[in-house]
Structure 1
Amino acid sequence: MSIHEQMTFETKQAIKKAFIQQMEEVGFERVTVKNLALTTHINRGTFYLHYADKFAVMEDVQQELLMELERHVKKVQPVEAFQTLQTGHLYPPFVHVITCIKEHAPAFRVLLGEQGSPTFAKKVKTIFGTHILDRLSIIREEVQDPELQQYLQAFIASAILGVIQEWLDKGNKDLNAEEMVMIHFRLLRLVGTLVSSI
């Protein structure tokens, strides 16, 4: 990476960080290019070299987070995950998913929260639902039913995301990534136990 490319990267990262901070403080509607430039100690002309407007910053922040999240979620194999859990060990690929979210907690918290973007939450649900459903459909024939798939995808994605949002809303200080993974699997095991006892 050249010096120019490094400077461009650092400036864009600074703008995105300022954007997340302002969204958390005042909400997207009140974020302004002027304040973003002031916060990052650049002039507005420099801002416009990197982004057309605040909507472009929002899009860049979302795409960066979604690409990194998807890279980790793609490695999760539900069967392996449950088999690993049964041995009392953590499943590393899912630990990496939760670690990714924890590392970008302020951005995820804002974008998934009331001040955030409904479309971002849908995209996160799609990542979880699609990749996990694809793997489940290979091992369970009933999962291949198109009508069931639609609702199962919504159920899986909403359950995972709901737990993550609760964790983020609490500031994720009480539980580390490994403990959060165990919470997910304890919940899944509990649901499975409740269903089998009916």
Structure 2
Amino acid sequence: MSIHDIMNFETKRAIKNALLIQIEEVGFERITVKKLAITANINRGTFYLHYKDKYEVMEDLQEYAFQTIKIGQLYQPFIAVFKYIKEHDKAFRVILGEQGSPAFSKRMKTVFSNHILDRISVIREEGLDPEFQPYFEAFLTSAILGVIQEWLDNGDDLNVEDLAMIHFRLLRFLGDLASL
């Protein structure tokens, strides 16, 4: 990697960090390129060498967050996915937070659904029912995202293994509820 590549990487990282800081402070909608440049300690011209607007920065940040999740299998190993999210917890916490990006939550649900529903439909024929499937998908992906958001917001004392165990306990609990 050349010195130019390293400088580009560092500048983009500073801009993405500035976006996270600004989302926490003022919310995504109120962010301006000027505020991003000031927070990243660069000038606006440098910003425009790397991104055309704040939406492109958000897209780049989201792509970075999804890289490992897309590459790995989501359900197996579960711990690897939680570990990745924990390593990038600030980015996930901010983007999934109230001031973040609803599109990111929707995208995460899509990633979950693409990986999980294929496996579940193999186990249970009911998962193939076209009337049942969209509701099951909405329920399951929202539940998984909700568990992750709760962990990011309030579960600092839980490690990834504990979270995986809680997740599986929740699934088992839901299964037990069906027998009532």
Q: TM-score, normalised by structure 1?
A: 0.85
How many equivalent residue pairs? Answer: 180
Give the equivalent residue in structure 1 for 2:147: 163
Q: 1-side partners of 2:115 and 2:176: how far apart?
A: 24
Deviation, structure 1 residue 75: 4.9
* 1:36-51 equivalent positions in 2, closer than 5 A: 36-51=36-51
Encode CA deviations 1:80-101: one digit per residue, 9 max, x unaligned.
Answer: xxxxxxxxxxxxx101111111
For the aligned residue pairs, the C-alpha RMSD in angstroms reads: 1.4
Asked if 1:193 corresponds to 2:172, the answer is no
Structure 1's unaligned 5+ residue stretches are 78-92
Give the equivalent residue in structure 2 for 1:87: none
Q: 2-side partners of 1:147 and 1:24: how far apart?
A: 40
Give the equivalent residue in structure 1 for 2:132: 148
SS of residue paired to 2:131? helix
Structure 1 segments, 4+ long, off by >4 Å, are none
Alignment-mate amino acid for residue 19 of structure 1:
L
Q: 2-side partners of 1:75 and 1:186: how far apart?
A: 17
Structure 2's unaligned 5+ residue stretches are none
Q: TM-score, normalised by structure 2?
A: 0.93
Q: 1-side partners of 2:96 and 2:83: how far apart?
A: 17
Give the equivalent residue in structure 2 for 1:84: none
SS of residue paired to 1:146? coil
Q: 2-side partners of 1:9 and 1:128: how far apart?
A: 29
Alignment-mate amino acid for residue 28 of structure 1:
F
Asked if 1:76 corresponds to 2:59, the answer is no
Is the CA contact (8 Å cut-off) linking 1:130 and 1:153 kept in structure 2? no
Q: 2-side partners of 1:39 and 1:142: how far apart?
A: 51
Deviation, structure 1 residue 103: 1.2
Q: 2-side partners of 1:132 and 1:167: how far apart?
A: 20
Q: 1-side partners of 2:21 and 2:78: how far apart?
A: 28
Is the CA contact (8 Å cut-off) linking 2:74 and 2:116 kept in structure 1? no
Give the equivalent residue in structure 1 for 2:9: 9
Deviation, structure 1 residue 154: 1.0
